[in-house]
Amino acid sequence: MVFGILGAMPEEVDQLCARLSGVTVEDYGGVRYHKGALAGRPVVVCCAGMGKANAAAATQVLITRYGAGQIIFSGIAGNMTDKVGIGDVVIGKTVFYHDAQLDMISQNPPYLTEYTGDPALIAAAEAACTEAGVHYITGRIATGDLFIGDSASKAAIAAKCAPDCVEMEGAAVSQIAAKNGVPCVILRAMSDNADEDGYEVLVVRDFSIAEYVATATRIVAGMIERL
């Protein structure tokens, strides 16, 4: 079983790539794919790029070219709930688009308006969070192509679909995985609260997300050891 692991930004996968053994690297379709072993299991890790199109394309390549039989997305997100705080984790039980015409998208395979995380992958993520001492919830993740960094946009999304966090790739990864019949889970460490302060820190100041990525990396490594 090959595990396909991806993030949206280099920082989201660099720490994981550093843990791989027997690494070979291939550039394909504008993305660099790192093939190696993690906890003795074959994995392929890549930085897909930000946004839905980049995420979908890299997911299909992981499945078609590299034979990934399970997909894990690991990265950061904007918090939308008081059930978790900065540095905590949301595991995607349900992942969906907040900016899409769902009745049209669902007319084609996999004929879904939302996507459900694989139960075995969710259970492995929950166990890895517990072992790492990371507070988490298994909940709802909303995806859209805009960075959410203002209170008005945050409130509109909350009113529309009440997610636990918001990000830019998860539903696209989940849609392509489901289309191919491949188990998938989306993991998100909270880096900000999807408001003006989050925009200031992450965009204006270009703040380092290494601390939050380290949390996600520990969880992914712990998952692979269990699967």
Residue 54 sits in a domain whose CATH number is 3.40.50.1580
Q: CA 160: distance to chain centroid? A: 21
pLDDT above 80 for 119: yes
What pLDDT does 41 receive?
96
> Which of these is catalytic: 12, 164, 169, 195?
12
* Beta strand 89-97 pairing with 115-116: antiparallel
The verdict on whether 167 is a catalytic residue reads no
Q: Please, what is the average pLDDT of the chain?
A: 93
Q: What is the mean pLDDT of the segment spanning 90-109?
A: 97
What pLDDT does 172 receive?
98
- H runs (alpha helix) in 114-169: 119-132, 151-161
* Domain range for 25: 2-226
What pLDDT does 216 receive?
84
What pLDDT does 201 receive?
59
What pLDDT does 47 receive?
97
> Which of these is catalytic: 88, 169, 192, 195?
192
CA-only gyration radius of the chain, Å: 16
The residues with which 90 forms a beta bridge, in sequence order, are: 137, 188
Dump pLDDT digits (tens) for 49-65.
999 999 999 999 999 99
Per the structure, the count of domains in the chain is: 1
Dump pLDDT digits (tens) for 175-224.
999 999 999 999 999 988 998 776 555 554 454 567 777 888 889 999 99
pLDDT above 70 covers a percentage of the chain that reads 95
Dump pLDDT digits (tens) for 17-30.
999 999 999 999 99
For 88, the 3-state DSSP assignment is coil
pTM comes to 0.94
The verdict on whether 11 is a catalytic residue reads no
Contact call for residues 190 and 212 (beta carbons, < 8 A): yes
Handedness of CA 73, 176, 95, 116 (dihedral sign): negative
Contact call for residues 121 and 111 (beta carbons, < 8 A): no
What pLDDT does 53 receive?
98
Q: What is the mean pLDDT of the segment spanning 76-99?
A: 95
Neighbouring C-beta atoms of residue 103, cutoff 10 Å: 8
